[in-house]
Amino acid sequence: MYSTSADNNECSVPSPTYRLFEQAIRQQKQILCLYDRHPRELCPIILGHTNGQEIALTYQFAGGSSKPLPPGGQWKCLHLAKVSDAQLRDGPWHAGDSHMQRQSCVDSVDLDANPLSPYHPQHR
């Protein structure tokens, strides 16, 4: 997947982190990573771009955060440039409960784990 920057109309190559998150969605694998100095265990659900930055809407089911994680987990929007030490892991796929609001984390959706995605992703 390549994204086009609206500012200069050049294609940019996805980062290794973006490619790992893409692989996790396609294979429904969990990701272990550090984000804002906290270890996180999550499943990426939507992948794309906002204001030219690589972004993922994820469901974090374990690990740390700046605020306590509710039992069962929580939706998190991650700027992939701030993710480090990411690795794939086998385990149950967590996608959280359905939510009532349209997601606003990812402006341009490239990939959505939901086969009935309302966001018209470039890839399913």
Question: How do residues 54-110 score in pLDDT, each as one tens digit?
Answer: 999 999 999 999 999 999 899 999 999 999 999 999 999 998 766 556 788 999 999
- Mean pLDDT, the chain, as a whole number? 87
Domain range summary for the chain, segments of one domain joined by +: 3-90+104-112
Give CA separation, 106 vs 37, 62, 68, 82, 100, in Å.
22, 22, 24, 16, 16
**Alpha helices of 1-124 — where are they, by DSSP H?**
16-27
**What torsion, rounded to 10 degrees, do the Cα atoms 113, 45, 54, 13 define?**
-30
| Count, residues in the chain | 124
Tell me phi and psi for residue 17, to 5 degrees.
-65, -45
Whether the per-residue pLDDT at 20 is higher than 70: the answer is yes
Whether the per-residue pLDDT at 4 is higher than 50: the answer is no
